[in-house]
Every structure is written in C-alpha cells, then in structure tokens.
Amino acid sequence: MKETGTGSAAGKAAEPLLELSGLEKHFPVTGGFVFKRQVGRVHAVDGIDLTVHAGETLGLVGESGCGKSTTGRLVARLLEPTGGAIRYGGRDITHASRRELKPIRSEIQMIFQDPYSSLNPRHTVGGIIRGPMEVNGIDPPGGRDRRVRELLEIVGLNPEHYNRFPHEFSGGQRQRIGVARALALNPRLIVADEPVSALDVSIQAQVVNLLQALQRELGIAFLFIAHDLAVVRHFSQRVAVMYLGKIVEVADRDSLYRRPRHPYTHALLSAVPEVEADPAAASTAGPRERIRLAGDVPSPIDPPSGCRFRTRCWKAQEKCASEEPPLVRLEGNREGHLTACHFPEAPTVHGDDVVLDPALA
C-alpha cells in the first residue's frame, strides 16, 4: 500500500481508506423567549464528499470558519455528524457506537494545533504516550514502556525524557510528543489539524519533515488540515479547498496549484505573500497577477444562496445566486480535478504548461 503515497491514480482502483459522502455538521443556535429553542443553525460542514486513500495525504485548506477543523473532528468521530456518511475501510462508521468504534479508534488518530494545551500538564511524557495503549488495552511485544521509548526515538526525542513533564519541553518538542502519542496505536489514518501553525518557521520544517518521514516509512494516510497553502502543497498529494462548509475545489496538488479553476482557489493562491524579493513589488503592484478579495467570509449561520462564494466573487452572475454549482470535473481539468463553479477561471497557456499565474511558472 505504500506505493499509493505518490499519487492518486494508483489509489483510485482500490477502495478508499476513508470516504465522506454528503457529510454534514450543523450546530444549533439557541435563543428565544422564556424557553430556549433553536433559532438557527451554524452550517459548519454542509454536505461534503471526500476520499482519502491508504498511505496518501489529503490536504484540506480554507480560511477560518470554513469548516475544515470540524471536518477533521467528524472524521476522528470526536463530533457526531448531523447528516451524510463516513465510511472507513469499507465500513459505515457515521453513527457507530462507542463499542463499535473501539477497533477503529486506534486506527484513526489526531494531532492538534496547540502543543501547549493538548498535553496534560500533570502527566509525564511517558504517561501521555502510554495513555492510548492503556485505554485500548494494547500490549505491544516487549511491553508498553519499551514501546514508549521506541516511539520517543522515532519522533526524535531522547528516550531518557520518559519521566519529564510537558512544560520542560519547547513547542516543537511538545508537538513531537503529540505525534508520538498518535503513533502509539499504529494508526492507519492521522487527522492532523493545523499541526505546525503554532510553531516557529525553523521548527515547523522539522515537524513537517518528521511527519513526511513517518508517512514514507509507516504508510500512514493523513488528512492534513491547514490554512497555510505552501505547507499544504508541500505535504499533500491531493488538496481540497473549503469555503463556508463546502468543498469548492479538489485536485491533485499540481493541478490545483498550477491550474486553479475556482475563483476562490485562485484568489487564495494569489494572496499568499511570496519570498520573491523585488523592490518594485514593495512600492507599486508587482509582476504577479494579484486578486484582492473584498470583505470577509459571510456568517455560516445564514450562508448565501446558490454558490456561497458569490458575495465576494468578481465573476458572480444571477445564476450563482439561484443555483448551487455542483462539484464536477470541468472541461480541461485533469482526472480527479473537481471544481464547483458556474463560471470557472480559464487557464492561460504558458509554454507547454497551462499556468494561471505567471509568477507561479
């Protein structure tokens, strides 16, 4: 299965490890007179289809409030979906009970953003990493302690640190502890929710490299959730872009980053500040095509009708308000490149390759 890590084409034939169909999570908004009643719903995740194949990384990007973290929590079954289905390894686990989930819990693990608050400060590092084994009653050959020391070594920490407490470690080291805990049960899928965004640049690269090495060596699949488009591109084979609870575009990374068809994807990419030193760019408009979206993301309590991006989209027409664009393969898209847009961006040709933004060439 490790070979599937390099592309989605090979994984297509096999059954996906994780399959989300029409997945939905609405949070109730309460209010009212005398008695509390539901007055609205936050459409955090509003009907999304995604697949993750064994050993591959699917990147999930989007701005705050787009529902990417909620999606991660749904997959890890930390939240109960309000609609749609989650299939894992061919089994429907959408509403699986605690007992039914037990064998799966160890296979799906989560890494969180904040390495400070996601580790219990009163437990030793050894205790934190042993925890999942104890809860799930797993006895690795050679004993739990040995396995913990082994895991510490795998994530690049000193096994001697077994009896230390989280506060004795730096941010990057704490994130390594979080990774070791996730690895304790030999997971097949890791949901990584902004695993490096709280870390300094130099440390961020260390953790990204660690996760990549783990994926190569252990064949773990990742659902990699982040807002940093460059990190996602670096880490993921396929990338999905979310906006207000919907997937607006999904494709393998080359296709998505070089030929974005959804205006939102395009705007996101053009907004990333790039380390291309050009004094001209500092004073006047640089050579890169720049798209500046106006305003902010609308409220997920009352999302716009039709296409949700239309309120900020420069191409929006009447059709966009009345009809929700389906997520489909557009003409000119590669296999597996799906876009939900009525008026997609036309890719320009740049040399042999189709490139939208000259600066990306």
Q: What residue ranges bind other proteins (CB under 8 A)?
A: 33-34, 63-64, 170, 172-173, 200-206, 208-209, 227, 229-231, 233-235, 253-254, 257, 267-279, 281-283, 286, 290, 292-297, 359-360
| Closer residue to other proteins in complex, CB, 135/213 | 213
**How far apart are CB 136 and other proteins at their closest, in Å?**
32
Tokens, residue 232: 């996602």
For the bound state, the minimum distance from the C-beta of residue 222 to other proteins, rounded and expressed in Å, comes to 15
Q: 125 and 153 in contact (C-beta within 8 Å)?
A: no
Q: Record the tokens describing residue 353, joined without a space.
A: 């390759």
CB of 334 to other proteins, least distance (A): 15
Give least dist CB 284 to other proteins, A.
9
Between 18 and 256, CB nearer to other proteins = 256
Residue with smaller CB distance to other proteins, 24 or 252: 252
Instruction: State which residue, 92 or 274, has the beta carbon closest to other proteins.
Output: 274
CB closer to other proteins, 13 vs 275: 275
Only one residue has tokens 């640049």, namely 201
Nearer to other proteins, 135 or 361 (CB): 361
| Residue 25: CB minimum distance to other proteins, A | 21
Evaluate whether 58 touches 50 at the Cβ level (below 8 Å).
yes
CB closer to other proteins out of 277 and 349: 277
Residue number, 184 or 313, with CB nearest to other proteins: 313
Nearer to other proteins, 272 or 328 (CB): 272
Query: Tokens in use for 259?
Result: 């030929």
Confirm if 216 and 186 have CB atoms less than 8 A apart.
no
Backbone angles phi, psi at 169, to 5 degrees: -110, 155
In the bound complex, what is the minimum distance in angstroms from residue 262's beta carbon to other proteins? 13
Closest to other proteins by CB, 112 vs 257, is: 257
Cβ 342 to other proteins shortest distance, Å: 21
Residue 227 CB, shortest distance to other proteins, in Å, is: 7
CB of 182 to other proteins, least distance (A): 20
188 phi and psi angles, rounded to 5 deg: -105, -20
Q: How far is the CB of 142 from other proteins (least distance, A)?
A: 30
Q: Which residues contact 191 (CB under 8 A, 6 or more apart)?
A: 72, 73, 75, 76, 108, 109, 110, 111, 222, 223, 225
Q: How many angstroms separate the Cα of 207 from the Cα of each of 91, 165, 198, 335?
A: 32, 20, 11, 32
